[in-house]
Structure 1
Amino acid sequence: MAEDIQAKLERYRTAPFDARFPNQNQTRNCWSNYLDYHRCQKALDARGVDNAPCEWHKRVYKSLCPKSWVRKWDDEREEGTFPGKI
C-alpha cells in the first residue's frame, strides 16, 4: 500500500477528481483534505507508525486551498480555537 501511495505522490500534478465534490467550487474539498491530513497524522503518530500516507491529503489541500486559509487554520490550531474536529 505504501508503494501505491509513493507512486501516486511521484506522479502528482494537481488534485484529482473526487466524486464527493463534483462541482466547480472546491472549498469543501480543500477543507476536507486539510482535516483528513491532520486526522491521519494524529492517528498514525499515536500508533507510532510512519505518517507518509498522510502526505497525499497534504498535497491535495496545498494545491486547492489558498495559502491565507491554511495559515489562518494553522494559527487557530496552535491557539486552540480551530473550529474543525481533528
Structure 2
Amino acid sequence: MKKRVNNIAEDIKTKIKNNKIVPSDSRFPNQNETRNCWHNYLDFHRCEKAMTAEGGEVSVCDWYRRVYKSLCPVSWLSAWDDRRAQGTFPGKV
C-alpha cells in the first residue's frame, strides 16, 4: 500500500509542477465554479487526512489546495475553516 501511495504522490507532484493554472474539470461544465470550489476544498482535506493516517507526504495534497484557493472566495474559506475547527462543518471530510 505504501508503494502505491508513493507512486500517486510522485504523479501528483509532477502535475502540480507542470500546471500553472487551474485546468478545466469536466465534472463542472458550467461557468459557476461554486461546486468545483466546494469539492476541491473537501478533496484537499480528505487527502490531507488520508495521507496523515497513512504516514505519507501531505504535500501531495497541494494540488487541491491550489485549485480551491484560486476558485473560492476568501470569506468562504475562513468560514469553512472556522466551522471545521468548531466541529460544525457540514461537509464529509
Normalising by structure 1, we get a TM-score of: 0.91
The answer on whether the counterparts of 2:9 and 2:57 sit within 8 Å (CA) in structure 1 is no
The residue number in structure 2 matching 1:9 is: 16
* Matched residue, 2:66: 59
Q: 1:51: how far off?
A: 1.6
Task: Name the structure 1 match of 2:35.
Answer: 28
State the shift of 1:7 in Å.
Answer: 3.0
> RMSD value over aligned CA atoms?
1.2
Q: Which moved more, 1:52-61 or 1:29-38?
A: 52-61
Which runs of at least 4 in structure 1 moved beyond 6 Å after TM superposition?
Answer: none
| Residue 86 of structure 2 is aligned to residue 79 of structure 1 | yes
Aligned residues: 86
Q: Which runs of 5+ in 2 are unaligned?
A: 1-7
Deviation at 1:78, TM superposition (A): 0.3
**Structure 2 length-normalised TM:** 0.85
Give the % identical residues: 59
Look up the SS of the partner of 1:23 in the other structure: coil
C-alpha displacement of 1:9? 1.9
Q: Secondary structure at the match of 2:46?
A: helix
For structure 1, the residue ranges without an aligned partner over 5 or more in a row are none
